Amino acid sequence: MSAQLAQTPIPHIPHARAGRITDQVLDHIIAAAKTAQTAQTLTEADAALILVTLPQIAEELRQRRAAMDLISDVTDLDNVLFMPSPAKG
């Protein structure tokens, strides 16, 4: 029986991820992070929000930087006008 246990792979449970990060959630994250930076009282919920969402925000930032680098590599940015996104709501 011990041979069977040694061959049984340990199940992998992926890390939890936050859901879609909306502009409202981003505003909350910004406020919580600024509170933490200024050594004010940070609630456990705000600390958890920062920790849970930071990886996705960093991934999105890296993807955006890569996209902008690609655009700048293949395009003369002096001829590109970036339009603001339409207001939401």
pLDDT digits (tens, 9 = 90+) for 61-89: 899 888 888 877 776 667 777 788 777 65
Distance (Å) of CA 7 to CA 4, 10, 11, 26, 45: 5, 9, 12, 45, 41
Instruction: Name the nearest CA neighbour of 46 among 35, 58, 38, 37.
Output: 35
Q: How confident is the model at residue 4 (pLDDT cuts 50, 70, 90)?
A: low
Question: In terms of pLDDT, which residue wins out, 34 or 8?
Answer: 34
Residue 41, domain member (yes or no): yes
Six-digit token string for 71:
């655009």
Residue 12, domain member (yes or no): no
* Residue range(s) defining the domain that contains residue 35: 18-64
Residue 23, domain member (yes or no): yes
Residue 24, domain member (yes or no): yes
Residue 89, domain member (yes or no): no
Residue 11, domain member (yes or no): no
Residue 88, domain member (yes or no): no
* Section 19-24 average pLDDT: 79
Instruction: Report how far residue 50's alpha carbon sits from residue 36's, in angstroms, rounded to the nearest whole number.
Output: 10
Tell me, what's the pLDDT at 3? 56
Contact criterion met (CB below 8 Å) for 53 and 25: yes
Q: What's the number of domains the chain is made of?
A: 1
Contact criterion met (CB below 8 Å) for 41 and 47: no
Residue 25, domain member (yes or no): yes
